[in-house]
């Protein structure tokens, strides 16, 4: 069976990447696409569930997992650890399912180095003012956290050129449609590549 594709999605906090990925998953059959659940040492926000939004772990547990080489990638973001567990991703990709990683630019660099077949998408907000409004509108972070995330946004956005695709999340439905177009184009590319390989193999093996 063909391997699934790994999609990296990054954005400054509040740009709307989680909303876009969740909306995409609602429209794709479950067997086709999955989102990876990361481990983090940050505190749980109101409305978040352990095992659904993140696996919330203590710092010493996270460090133990690093020591055991359990992460495909991990990084420190906003003073907390975040990481993608190797086990979950590799097993799912092997079954032909596409997997989405909602990770920062540091994690994206580590994944690209290890898995050159991964495709990466950067989500931009339409303006700094709108990014600030969305962070506040989400109503889940303190003023101090919002100020830090706005300052970090510039650092995150400075890595936009490392990504294969850019999406501006101004009108949500348009941004979602862009995301679906990217996935359709990638699936077509993979299907064409497979057809070329199959044709070559049948010629090479012909007696």
Ligand X SMILES: Nc1ncnc2c1ncn2[C@@H]1O[C@H](COP(=O)(O)OP(=O)(O)O)[C@@H](O)[C@H]1O
Find out whether 19 is annotated in a ligand binding site.
no
Q: Name which of 98 and 104 has its Cβ closer to ligand GDP.
A: 104
- Asked whether position 38 contacts ligand GDP by CB under 6 A, the answer is yes
- Asked whether position 14 contacts ligand X by CB under 6 A, the answer is yes
- Asked whether position 81 contacts ligand GDP by CB under 6 A, the answer is no
Angle at which helices 17-27 and 172-205 pack, to 10 degrees?
60
- Asked whether position 89 contacts ligand GDP by CB under 6 A, the answer is no
Contact characters 92-131, ligand GDP, x per CB under 6 A = ----------xxx-xx------------------------
> From the list 44, 128, 172, 199, which residue makes contact with ligand X (rule: CB under 6 A)?
172
- Asked whether position 148 contacts ligand X by CB under 6 A, the answer is no
Q: Which of the ranges 75-83, 85-93, 134-142, 192-200 carries the binding residues for ligand X, by CB under 6 A?
A: 134-142
Shortest Å distance, C-beta 93 to ligand X: 23
Binding site for ligand X (CB under 6 A): 11, 13-19, 134, 137-138, 169, 172, 175
């Amino acid at each position: 069976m063909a391997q699934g594709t790994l999609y990296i999605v990054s954005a400054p906090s509040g740009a709307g990447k989680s909303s876009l990925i969740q909306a995409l998953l609602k429209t794709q059959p479950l067997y086709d696409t999955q989102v990876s659940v990361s481990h983090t040492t940050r505190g749980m926000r109101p409305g978040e569930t352990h095992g659904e939004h993140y696996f919330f772990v203590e710092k010493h547990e996270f460090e133990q997992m690093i020591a055991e080489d359990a992460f495909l990638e991990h990084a420190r973001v906003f003073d907390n650890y975040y990481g993608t567990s190797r086990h979950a991703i590799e097993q799912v990709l092997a079954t032909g399912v596409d997997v989405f990683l909602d990770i920062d630019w540091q994690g994206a660099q580590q994944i690209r180095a290890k898995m050159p077949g991964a495709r990466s998408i950067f989500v931009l907000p339409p303006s700094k003012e709108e990014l600030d409004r969305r962070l506040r509108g989400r109503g889940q972070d303190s003023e101090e956290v919002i100020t830090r995330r706005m300052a970090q946004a510039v650092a995150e956005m400075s890595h936009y050129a490392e990504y294969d695709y850019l999406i501006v999340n101004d009108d949500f439905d348009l941004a979602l449609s862009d995301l679906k177009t990217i996935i359709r184009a990638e699936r077509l590319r993979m299907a064409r590549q497979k057809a070329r390989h199959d044709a070559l193999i049948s010629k090479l093996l012909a007696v």
